[in-house]
Amino acid sequence: MGKGADTYRHKGLRAKLVDELRKKGISDERVLDAMLQVPRHLFFDKTFEPWAYKDNAFPIDCEQTISQPYTVAFQTSLLDVHPGDKILEIGLGSGYQACVLAAMGAKVYSLERHRPLYLSTTARLGQMGVRGVRTFYGDGFRGLPSFAPFDKILVTAAAPEIPKELVRQLREGGILVIPVTRGAFQQMIRLFKTSDGKWLEEQHGEFRFVPMLEGTE
Ligand code: SAH
Protein backbone atom coordinates (compact mmCIF):
# COMPACT_ATOMS: atom_id res chain seq x y z
CA MET A 1 0.00 0.00 0.00
CA GLY A 2 2.51 2.61 -1.23
CA LYS A 3 4.23 5.27 0.88
CA GLY A 4 4.04 6.02 4.60
CA ALA A 5 5.66 4.22 7.48
CA ASP A 6 4.07 0.85 8.13
CA THR A 7 6.35 -1.12 10.42
CA TYR A 8 6.38 -4.55 12.08
CA ARG A 9 5.23 -2.80 15.25
CA HIS A 10 2.15 -1.49 13.45
CA LYS A 11 1.49 -4.92 11.97
CA GLY A 12 1.70 -6.41 15.45
CA LEU A 13 -0.80 -3.85 16.77
CA ARG A 14 -3.15 -4.69 13.90
CA ALA A 15 -2.90 -8.41 14.66
CA LYS A 16 -3.89 -7.64 18.29
CA LEU A 17 -6.81 -5.49 17.15
CA VAL A 18 -8.02 -8.26 14.81
CA ASP A 19 -7.83 -10.78 17.69
CA GLU A 20 -9.93 -8.42 19.78
CA LEU A 21 -12.52 -8.12 16.98
CA ARG A 22 -12.64 -11.92 16.66
CA LYS A 23 -13.31 -12.19 20.42
CA LYS A 24 -16.10 -9.62 20.05
CA GLY A 25 -17.82 -11.89 17.53
CA ILE A 26 -16.53 -10.86 14.09
CA SER A 27 -16.06 -14.12 12.18
CA ASP A 28 -15.80 -13.19 8.49
CA GLU A 29 -12.14 -14.03 7.82
CA ARG A 30 -12.13 -11.96 4.61
CA VAL A 31 -13.02 -8.88 6.67
CA LEU A 32 -10.45 -9.65 9.38
CA ASP A 33 -7.80 -10.27 6.73
CA ALA A 34 -8.49 -6.91 5.08
CA MET A 35 -8.28 -5.14 8.46
CA LEU A 36 -4.94 -6.87 9.04
CA GLN A 37 -3.69 -5.34 5.79
CA VAL A 38 -4.94 -1.72 5.95
CA PRO A 39 -2.61 0.53 8.01
CA ARG A 40 -5.25 2.39 10.07
CA HIS A 41 -2.61 4.65 11.68
CA LEU A 42 -1.96 6.33 8.31
CA PHE A 43 -5.53 7.70 8.42
CA PHE A 44 -4.79 9.71 11.59
CA ASP A 45 -2.83 12.84 12.27
CA LYS A 46 0.62 11.68 13.49
CA THR A 47 -0.07 13.11 16.97
CA PHE A 48 -2.91 10.64 17.48
CA GLU A 49 -1.10 7.57 16.14
CA PRO A 50 -1.04 5.81 19.55
CA TRP A 51 -4.85 5.58 19.39
CA ALA A 52 -5.01 4.13 15.88
CA TYR A 53 -5.21 0.48 16.94
CA LYS A 54 -7.60 0.82 19.84
CA ASP A 55 -11.16 -0.33 19.23
CA ASN A 56 -12.57 3.20 19.47
CA ALA A 57 -14.07 5.81 17.17
CA PHE A 58 -11.85 8.87 16.77
CA PRO A 59 -12.33 12.52 15.67
CA ILE A 60 -11.12 13.52 12.18
CA ASP A 61 -11.48 16.84 10.28
CA CYS A 62 -14.79 18.77 9.93
CA GLU A 63 -16.08 17.44 13.29
CA GLN A 64 -16.51 13.97 11.80
CA THR A 65 -15.28 10.62 13.12
CA ILE A 66 -13.45 7.59 11.80
CA SER A 67 -15.77 4.72 12.81
CA GLN A 68 -14.78 2.31 15.58
CA PRO A 69 -12.95 -0.73 14.11
CA TYR A 70 -15.69 -3.04 15.47
CA THR A 71 -18.31 -1.00 13.61
CA VAL A 72 -16.26 -1.11 10.39
CA ALA A 73 -15.88 -4.89 10.77
CA PHE A 74 -19.58 -5.36 11.58
CA GLN A 75 -20.89 -3.28 8.67
CA THR A 76 -18.40 -4.86 6.25
CA SER A 77 -19.44 -8.37 7.38
CA LEU A 78 -23.13 -7.52 6.78
CA LEU A 79 -22.25 -6.37 3.27
CA ASP A 80 -20.93 -9.87 2.35
CA VAL A 81 -18.20 -8.46 0.11
CA HIS A 82 -16.87 -10.48 -2.84
CA PRO A 83 -13.96 -9.58 -5.13
CA GLY A 84 -15.22 -7.48 -8.04
CA ASP A 85 -18.27 -6.14 -6.16
CA LYS A 86 -19.14 -2.60 -7.21
CA ILE A 87 -19.80 -0.77 -3.95
CA LEU A 88 -21.11 2.74 -3.24
CA GLU A 89 -20.07 4.15 0.14
CA ILE A 90 -21.86 7.18 1.58
CA GLY A 91 -19.48 9.02 3.92
CA LEU A 92 -15.86 8.79 2.75
CA GLY A 93 -14.60 10.50 5.93
CA SER A 94 -11.01 9.40 6.51
CA GLY A 95 -11.15 6.83 3.69
CA TYR A 96 -10.36 3.93 6.04
CA GLN A 97 -13.60 2.00 5.45
CA ALA A 98 -13.24 2.49 1.68
CA CYS A 99 -9.71 1.02 1.84
CA VAL A 100 -10.94 -2.02 3.78
CA LEU A 101 -13.50 -2.68 1.03
CA ALA A 102 -10.85 -2.19 -1.67
CA ALA A 103 -8.50 -4.59 0.16
CA MET A 104 -11.27 -7.19 -0.24
CA GLY A 105 -11.15 -6.70 -4.00
CA ALA A 106 -14.20 -4.41 -4.30
CA LYS A 107 -14.45 -1.49 -6.72
CA VAL A 108 -15.37 1.35 -4.38
CA TYR A 109 -17.15 4.62 -5.19
CA SER A 110 -17.19 6.81 -2.10
CA LEU A 111 -19.14 10.05 -1.63
CA GLU A 112 -18.39 12.83 0.86
CA ARG A 113 -20.46 16.01 1.47
CA HIS A 114 -17.69 18.00 3.25
CA ARG A 115 -15.45 19.55 0.62
CA PRO A 116 -12.30 19.96 2.81
CA LEU A 117 -12.59 16.33 3.96
CA TYR A 118 -13.20 15.13 0.40
CA LEU A 119 -10.07 17.01 -0.77
CA SER A 120 -7.74 15.97 2.07
CA THR A 121 -8.81 12.31 1.99
CA THR A 122 -8.58 12.12 -1.81
CA ALA A 123 -5.03 13.50 -1.56
CA ARG A 124 -4.13 11.01 1.18
CA LEU A 125 -5.39 8.01 -0.77
CA GLY A 126 -3.38 9.26 -3.75
CA GLN A 127 -0.19 9.53 -1.67
CA MET A 128 -0.77 6.04 -0.29
CA GLY A 129 -1.11 4.68 -3.81
CA VAL A 130 -4.50 3.12 -3.02
CA ARG A 131 -6.10 1.29 -5.94
CA GLY A 132 -9.79 0.53 -6.26
CA VAL A 133 -11.26 3.60 -4.55
CA ARG A 134 -12.80 6.49 -6.49
CA THR A 135 -13.86 9.51 -4.44
CA PHE A 136 -16.69 11.95 -5.17
CA TYR A 137 -17.87 15.22 -3.67
CA GLY A 138 -21.66 15.28 -3.32
CA ASP A 139 -24.78 14.51 -1.31
CA GLY A 140 -25.29 10.85 -0.44
CA PHE A 141 -29.08 11.25 -0.45
CA ARG A 142 -28.75 11.56 -4.24
CA GLY A 143 -26.25 8.71 -4.59
CA LEU A 144 -24.28 8.45 -7.83
CA PRO A 145 -26.91 7.87 -10.53
CA SER A 146 -24.41 7.99 -13.40
CA PHE A 147 -22.54 4.95 -11.96
CA ALA A 148 -25.59 2.95 -10.82
CA PRO A 149 -26.54 0.17 -10.40
CA PHE A 150 -24.33 -0.97 -7.51
CA ASP A 151 -23.99 -4.50 -6.11
CA LYS A 152 -23.79 -3.11 -2.58
CA ILE A 153 -24.32 0.25 -0.86
CA LEU A 154 -22.82 1.09 2.55
CA VAL A 155 -23.90 4.17 4.50
CA THR A 156 -21.51 5.21 7.28
CA ALA A 157 -23.63 8.04 8.76
CA ALA A 158 -27.01 7.77 10.51
CA ALA A 159 -29.92 8.37 8.14
CA PRO A 160 -33.33 9.67 9.23
CA GLU A 161 -34.92 6.95 7.05
CA ILE A 162 -33.91 4.67 4.17
CA PRO A 163 -33.32 6.99 1.17
CA LYS A 164 -35.47 5.63 -1.67
CA GLU A 165 -32.98 6.94 -4.22
CA LEU A 166 -30.27 4.64 -2.81
CA VAL A 167 -32.55 1.60 -3.04
CA ARG A 168 -33.24 2.62 -6.64
CA GLN A 169 -29.47 2.64 -7.38
CA LEU A 170 -29.02 -0.90 -6.00
CA ARG A 171 -29.18 -3.81 -8.45
CA GLU A 172 -31.77 -6.55 -7.95
CA GLY A 173 -30.24 -8.99 -5.46
CA GLY A 174 -28.08 -6.18 -4.06
CA ILE A 175 -27.50 -5.32 -0.39
CA LEU A 176 -27.79 -1.96 1.40
CA VAL A 177 -26.34 -1.58 4.91
CA ILE A 178 -27.44 1.58 6.70
CA PRO A 179 -27.84 2.83 10.28
CA VAL A 180 -31.29 4.42 10.61
CA THR A 181 -32.44 6.63 13.47
CA ARG A 182 -35.32 4.87 15.24
CA GLY A 183 -36.43 6.81 18.30
CA ALA A 184 -33.57 7.50 20.68
CA PHE A 185 -31.05 5.22 18.96
CA GLN A 186 -29.79 4.09 15.57
CA GLN A 187 -30.68 0.67 14.27
CA MET A 188 -28.34 -1.11 11.85
CA ILE A 189 -30.49 -2.16 8.90
CA ARG A 190 -29.55 -4.66 6.19
CA LEU A 191 -31.81 -4.48 3.16
CA PHE A 192 -31.95 -7.04 0.34
CA LYS A 193 -33.43 -5.75 -2.89
CA THR A 194 -35.48 -8.66 -4.22
CA SER A 195 -36.98 -7.08 -7.31
CA ASP A 196 -37.69 -3.60 -8.53
CA GLY A 197 -39.86 -1.93 -5.91
CA LYS A 198 -39.54 -4.82 -3.39
CA TRP A 199 -37.08 -5.50 -0.60
CA LEU A 200 -36.54 -7.33 2.69
CA GLU A 201 -35.21 -5.66 5.83
CA GLU A 202 -33.28 -7.11 8.77
CA GLN A 203 -32.34 -5.36 12.01
CA HIS A 204 -28.84 -5.84 13.42
CA GLY A 205 -28.69 -3.90 16.68
CA GLU A 206 -27.94 -0.43 17.96
CA PHE A 207 -24.96 1.71 16.96
CA ARG A 208 -23.84 5.32 17.14
CA PHE A 209 -22.91 7.36 14.04
CA VAL A 210 -22.60 11.03 13.10
CA PRO A 211 -25.78 12.16 11.27
CA MET A 212 -26.28 11.84 7.51
CA LEU A 213 -27.00 15.44 6.48
CA GLU A 214 -28.63 16.81 3.33
CA GLY A 215 -26.71 18.97 0.86
CA THR A 216 -23.00 19.72 0.64
CA GLU A 217 -20.67 22.19 2.42
N1 SAH B 1 -16.47 5.83 6.45
C2 SAH B 1 -15.80 6.87 7.21
C3 SAH B 1 -16.64 7.28 8.41
C4 SAH B 1 -16.83 8.76 8.39
S5 SAH B 1 -18.08 9.42 9.44
C6 SAH B 1 -14.41 6.44 7.64
O7 SAH B 1 -14.03 5.28 7.44
O8 SAH B 1 -13.66 7.29 8.15
C9 SAH B 1 -19.38 9.72 8.29
C10 SAH B 1 -19.06 10.63 7.12
O11 SAH B 1 -20.28 10.78 6.39
C12 SAH B 1 -18.62 12.05 7.49
O13 SAH B 1 -17.40 12.32 6.86
C14 SAH B 1 -19.75 12.93 6.97
O15 SAH B 1 -19.31 14.19 6.50
C16 SAH B 1 -20.30 12.08 5.84
N17 SAH B 1 -21.69 12.38 5.45
C18 SAH B 1 -22.76 12.68 6.23
N19 SAH B 1 -23.86 12.90 5.49
C20 SAH B 1 -23.49 12.71 4.19
C21 SAH B 1 -24.17 12.80 2.93
N22 SAH B 1 -25.46 13.15 2.84
N23 SAH B 1 -23.46 12.54 1.81
C24 SAH B 1 -22.15 12.22 1.85
N25 SAH B 1 -21.44 12.13 2.99
C26 SAH B 1 -22.10 12.37 4.16
Please check whether residue 166 lies inside any domain of the structure: yes
For residue 122, the CA-to-ligand 1 centroid distance in Å is 14
Q: Report whether pLDDT(60) > 60.
A: yes
> Who has greater pLDDT, 24 or 48?
24
Phi, psi of 150 (to 5 degrees): -110, 150
Whole-number pLDDT of residue 58: 87
Answer yes or no: is 2 within a domain: no
What domain range is 105 assigned to?
Answer: 8-207
Start-to-end CA distance of the chain, whole Å, equals 30
Whether the per-residue pLDDT at 93 is higher than 80: the answer is yes
| 163: preceding bond cis by omega (within 30 degrees) | no
pLDDT score of 14 more than 60: yes
Nearest residue to 212 (alpha-carbon basis) of 182, 176, 180 = 180
Query: What confidence score (pLDDT) does residue 113 get?
Result: 98
Predicted local confidence at residue 46, as pLDDT: 81
The C-alpha atoms of residue 83 and residue 32 are separated, in whole angstroms, by: 15
pTM: 0.96
Are 96 and 38 within 8 A, CB to CB?
yes
In-domain check, residue 217: no
- Does an H or E element contain 136, and which? strand 133-137
> How confident is the model over 156-178, as a mean pLDDT?
97
What is the set of active-site residues?
67
**Amino acid occupying residue 196:** D
- Look at residue 215 and tell me if it is in a domain: no
Rounded CA-CA distance 58/144 in Å is 28
Over 80: is that where the pLDDT of 2 sits? no
Could you tell me if residue 213 is inside a domain? no
- Work out the average pLDDT over 58-62: 82
* CATH number of the structural domain spanning residue 33: 3.40.50.150
Q: Is residue 140 part of a domain?
A: yes
Instruction: Return the ligand 1 atom nearest residue 213 CA.
Output: 19
pLDDT of amino acid 117: 95
Count how many residues are written for the chain. Answer: 217
Q: Which atom of ligand 1 is nearest to the CA of 91?
A: 11
Determine contact, residues 167/198, Cβ cutoff 8 Å.
no
Average of per-residue pLDDT across 50-61: 89
Beta carbons of 179 and 155 less than 8 angstroms apart: yes
